[in-house]
Structure 1
Amino acid sequence: MLETIKNRLKNFPLECTQPGPQERGSTAAVLVALHGDSADPQVILTQRAFHLNNHAGEVAFPGGMWDETDTDLLQTALREAHEEIGLLPSLVEPIATLPVAIPKRRSLRVTPFVGLVDGPLDLVAEPGEIGALFDAPLRQFMNVENYQYFEMKTEYGALRFPFLPYNGYKIWGFTLKVLTDMLNSTLEANIHLDYPSHERIEELRQSEQLKKRGPQ
């Protein structure tokens, strides 16, 4: 499986770019770190600490905001992975840059980098940022029967999101979308999940604005 993913990711060549001057405050990078048995690879995931102000308790890739000391966004992803989980950059073989994504609930441009990681690994979560650290087998994401849906209240109303339950964790949102898109592109996984459309979000937003205005 891992060899097939690696070969197909040649369609997403590694690009080490810097954010433009106007994007630097809203640009981040994450590391999709794959390791383990080639036939049954794992992805390294974190659970954000519950005391954080943003996205507390959510499952995420190692990564974070671009810093002026970073030469490029790949270094951002590697630096943050080192700071958050103790993953040495020297153990990572970067192989691909996935398409830039913009999480629906935040004005942020996030670049995911895929890297192959040599083991054995001795990773330690940084408690100020990371509540838990775990591996998830890519095979779990390949089975469409594993997916469920939940409703979340937002500023615009209730929205329905897909998620993958795994060992007590809820993998959803940006993290889930990046992984399933990668598997669809490399393994023809045929994972089609129902996300809230931009049209639906806009409809709820306009409805909420009308409520706030009251009778005309």
Structure 2
Amino acid sequence: MIDTSFHTFTEDLRRRLQQPLPGEVAHSKMAAASRYRLGIKPNERTRRSAVLICFYPYQNSIYLPLILRPQYDGVHAGQMAFPGGRMERIDENLTRTALRETQEEVGIRVSDVKVLGLLTELFIPPSNFYVQPVVGILPYRPDFYPDPREVEAVVEVELNTLLDETIVGDSQVEVRGTLVDAPYYQIQEYRVWGATAMMISELLVVLES
């Protein structure tokens, strides 16, 4: 049982993020079958990126935002994701990358974000990125100002929704003309799969540990 008092939740999550992380074991629960079959590994061209998983209180509950990527000529077009992006030279570390990209994409005032810790870095074969999930909190529900070039919609997700085991499903997803078997989370009218689902899987194991 997760205490949804925001202060208690925050302190519990901070403590749990300092413990050994479940990493690959948790990731594998929501990984597409092709991830392991193809066996693609990081190489000298692999780039670094980071996303922000940001919790905030609202209406006596706890929420976090996901974003819907717009349609474009890219491997992650039209997918659900956490706000974030690639590391730039101006970023002193990946935590800074996650904060900067989140501010650019959805307009969150990241100077108000308190970082609690990190989840396990995850390799994304289709885009050849290592992505670092950063976990933080805001003490209030933010106003969102999505950049239309990078964000089609901001989807506010209640924590209790993620804790509902009935939202987990499995289906075939078309990726650049190829059908891929992939587990997903059904969140509102959106199916969240791939790397984002793998990060959520690890987050839930951490929360429920």
Aligned residue in 1 for 2:192:
171
Aligned residue in 2 for 1:5:
13
Aligned residue in 1 for 2:101:
80
Residues 38-79 of structure 1 deviation map (CA, whole Å, 9 limit, x = unaligned): 973211110011235331110111100000111111111100
Report the count of equivalent residues: 180
Say if 1:52 and 1:129, in contact at 8 Å, map to a contact too.
no
Residues 108-141 of structure 1 deviation map (CA, whole Å, 9 limit, x = unaligned): 1111100011224111110011000021112212
3-state secondary structure, aligned to 2:195: helix
Q: Distance in 1 between matches of 2:179 and 2:45?
A: 32
Matched, 1:159 2:167: no
Structure 2 stretches lacking a partner, 5+ long:
4-8, 22-42
Aligned residue in 1 for 2:92:
71
Residues 139-194 of structure 1 deviation map (CA, whole Å, 9 limit, x = unaligned): 21222222111113457964311111222111111111111211112313xxxxxx
Matched AA of 1:173 = G
Aligned residue in 1 for 2:202:
181
Aligned identity (percent) is: 25
Say if 1:5 and 1:187, in contact at 8 Å, map to a contact too.
no
Q: Larger C-alpha radius of gyration, 1 or 2?
A: 1
Matched AA of 2:13 = I
| TM superposition shift of 1:103 | 2.0
Give the TM-score taking structure 2 as reference length: 0.77
Which among 147, 157, 165 is matched to residue 144 of structure 1?
A: 165
Bigger RCO (CA 8 Å, 6+ sep): 2
| Closer, same or farther: CA 78–55 of 1 in aligned 2, 3 Å | same
Say if 1:24 and 1:66, in contact at 8 Å, map to a contact too.
no
Structure 1 stretches lacking a partner, 5+ long:
14-21, 189-216
Give the TM-score taking structure 1 as reference length: 0.74
Q: What CA RMSD, in Å, does the superposition of the two structures yield over aligned residues? A: 2.5
Residues 89-124 of structure 1 deviation map (CA, whole Å, 9 limit, x = unaligned): 211000101111012433211111000112241111
Q: Distance in 1 between matches of 2:205 and 2:129?
A: 24
Aligned residue in 2 for 1:194:
none
Which among 71, 79, 83 is matched to residue 50 of structure 1?
A: 71
Matched, 1:125 2:133: no
